[in-house]
């Protein structure tokens, strides 16, 4: 038969995930399965075949999302860079260059809202966050730096999400600032020489 199959489960599945994001943007976090199915050009029954419940669909969306982000970070790791903070830098670049809220289908408050409403999604998000926390912690930078950078990236993301618009100049400045902060390994503040401060 032809290279283009009329039935391609994988393609349909991915189409449904994208359609879900689009439908949520259009109809808000409370989209109906009907709307998603319609957006994907599939019947409701077809949707339910791939995702047996609505929550399953939303969980599928986070999986897709985290997979994309992980891949983006890997893509941004500079092979010629072997200084401390290389993963941090890749993380920063991925966050700023690949996760633009502008054109991104997923970067929309409604999508976030819809996803966070599912407990299982929260679990996944937390697990992912834990992984990043430990990976970035072992990146060779002073804890003050990696901590500040990680939180700032979260903040930028959430801020852009809430604001709904992006100040490109500010965005660029923040990006450069964070990258600059990875270029030294010492503490950010004078007087605090090390993270180990237990005196008991």
Partner DNA sequence: TTTAACCGACCGTCTGGACGGTATCTTGGA
Partner DNA sequence: TCCAAGATACCGTCCAGACGGTCGGTTAAA
Interface positions with DNA (CB under 7 A)? 1-2, 5-9, 12-13, 30-34, 42-46, 48-50, 52-55
- HSE-CB of 166 using CA atoms within 13 angstroms: 20
Nearer to DNA, 1 or 162 (CB): 1
- Count Cα atoms within 13 angstroms, Cβ side, for 195: 11
Residue ranges in 155-174 that form contacts with a copy of itself under rule CB under 8 A: 155-156, 158-159, 162-164, 170, 173-174
Binding site partner of 50, from DNA, a copy of itself, none, Cβ cut-off 5-8 A by kind = DNA
Closer to DNA by CB, 6 or 134: give it.
Answer: 6
d(CA 40, CA 148): 40
Tokens 């038969």 belong to residue: 1
User: Of 33-41, 60-68, 72-80, 113-121, which part binds a copy of itself (CB under 8 A)?
Assistant: 113-121
- Are 46 and 39 spatial neighbours (Cβ–Cβ below 8 Å)? no
- Is residue 3 near a copy of itself by the rule CB under 8 A? no
H or E segment to which residue 67 belongs: helix 54-76
Minimum CB distance to DNA smaller for 41 or for 186: 41
Residue span binding a copy of itself (CB under 8 A) among the ranges 26-34, 52-60, 67-75, 85-93: 26-34
Give the torsion through C-alpha atoms of 48, 53, 55, 61, to 10 deg.
-30
């Amino acid at each position: 038969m032809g290279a283009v199959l009329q039935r391609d489960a994988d393609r349909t599945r991915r189409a449904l995930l994208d359609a879900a994001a689009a439908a949520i943007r259009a109809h808000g976090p409370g989209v109906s399965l009907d709307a998603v199915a319609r957006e994907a050009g599939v019947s409701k029954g077809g949707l339910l075949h791939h995702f047996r419940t609505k929550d399953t669909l939303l969980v599928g969306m986070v999986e897709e999302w985290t997979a994309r982000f992980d891949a983006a970070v890997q893509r941004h790791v500079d092979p010629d860079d072997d200084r401390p903070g290389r993963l941090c830098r890749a993380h920063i670049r991925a966050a700023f260059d690949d996760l633009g809220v502008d054109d991104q289908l997923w970067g929309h408050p409604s999508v976030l809202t819809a996803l966070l409403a599912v407990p299982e999604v929260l679990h996944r998000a937390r697990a992912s966050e834990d992984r990043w926390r430990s990976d970035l912690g072992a990146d060779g930078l002073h804890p003050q730096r990696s901590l500040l950078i990680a939180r700032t990236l979260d903040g930028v993301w959430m801020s852009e999400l809430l604001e709904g618009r992006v100040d490109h100049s500010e965005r660029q400045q923040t990006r450069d600032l964070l990258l600059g902060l990875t270029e030294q390994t010492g503490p950010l503040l004078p007087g605090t020489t090390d993270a180990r401060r237990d005196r008991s």
